[in-house]
Amino acid sequence: MALNSYVLLVIVSTCLVTWASRVIPFILLKRFKLSKLVVSFLGFVPICIMTALWMQSLFVQHLGQLPDLNVPNVLASIPTLLSAVLTKNLLVIVIVGVVSLGVLNLIL
């Protein structure tokens, strides 16, 4: 694929928009003091996002039908959840999840 000016413009503009959407909130929040209620509420956002992503990977959607369980992901979730409860270390959780899913994909 040749790199013409249009493709370069799309790449650069996408980079700028992505960067701005991550930096501007930090710049704005630096000037304001958030209330304890808002800070407490925002503390739940990461766990909600991770739960939504996790649930999305546990089910396979079929058009016009009920979703099916993604069996390898469900089985890999068991040791991953166990490592999360025991260690509370994100690196360990990710490694256990990746290894358990890899082993299950080799077996199944």
Residue at 96 is within a domain:
yes
- The answer to the question of residue 74 being in a domain is yes
Measured distance CA(68)–CA(62) in Å, rounded:
8
pLDDT of residue 62: 86
Is residue 76, in this structure, part of any structural domain at all? yes
* Cβ within 8 Å of residue 100, ≥6 positions away: 75, 76, 78, 79, 80
Three-state secondary structure of 46-83:
HHHHHHHHHHHHHEECCCCCCCEECHHHHHHHHHHHHH
pLDDT for position 1: 59
Range of the domain at 61: 50-107
In a domain, 23, yes or no: no
The stretches in the chain having pLDDT less than 50 are: none
Number of domains forming the structure of the chain: 1
